[in-house]
Amino acid sequence: MGNAWRTTMVAGIVAATMGLSACAPLLIGAAATMGTLSALDRRTLGAQTEDQLIELKGVNRLRESMRNVDAVGVTSFNRKVLLTGQVLTEQDKVNAQRVIATLDNVRSIENELQVSGRVSTGVSASDGLITTRVKSALIDSKRVQANTVKVVTEASVVYLMGVVTRDEGERAAEIASRVSGVGRVVTVFEYVSDEDLVKLRRDGTTTR
C-alpha cells in the first residue's frame, strides 16, 4: 500500500469525522464510506445506495415520531442497521427500533441505544477522534482490508460493521481494541465463508 494512497485515505477519514458526532452518520452516510473507495466495497452498488437511503429516511421517521432524535445515530451496512446514542426512556429505545423496522429493505436491527440522556459535546468530539484513530490503525496494520470495515464510535465504545470472514473480523476487533481511547469493541459484522469471499472478489457482489 503506497504512502500516497494511505495519505489520501486517512485524509478522507479525517474529513468525514472532523467535528462530527458519532450520532450523525445519518447525515453523512456517503462521506463515511469515502466515495473514492466505493468501488472496493464488498456491498453491491445497489446495497450502498440503499444503506444511504435507510440512514436518511430513518432519521426523518424518528424526527416525526420521537423526542431527542439528535442524540440517536442510524448507521446501515448491507441493509443491517445499527442504532447508537442516547434516549430518555426505555420506551423510546423500543419505539426507535419499531420506527426503523418500518423502513424498506432493512434486513436486521442492532439496537445499542442507551437510556442515559444526551451525550455531551466533549464526548462527541472525542468519539470522532477515536473513529479516525481506529480507521488509521486498520490501514496501518495491513492485516485487514480497511475499506471493508465501517467504524462507529459512541461514548468510547467502537462498533465495527462490514462483510468479513471470521478471521478478518477477529483481526479487526483486535486492532481496534488496542487503539488509545477505546473503551470497548462491539462487532456487528455480517460473516461470510472463505469461499464466499473468493466469489466477492471475483464478481464484486455480495451474497445477499
Confidence check: pLDDT of 36 > 50 = no
Average pLDDT over residues 160-178: 96
Looking at residue 118, its pLDDT comes to: 65
Cβ partners under 8 Å of residue 5, min gap 6: none
Averaged over 62-69, what is the pLDDT? Answer: 86
pLDDT at position 123 over 60: yes
Q: pLDDT-based confidence at 47, cuts 50/70/90?
A: very high
Domain enclosing residue 83, as ranges: 1-208
CA–CA distance, 31 with 150 (Å, rounded to integer)? 12
The tally of domains found in the chain comes to 1
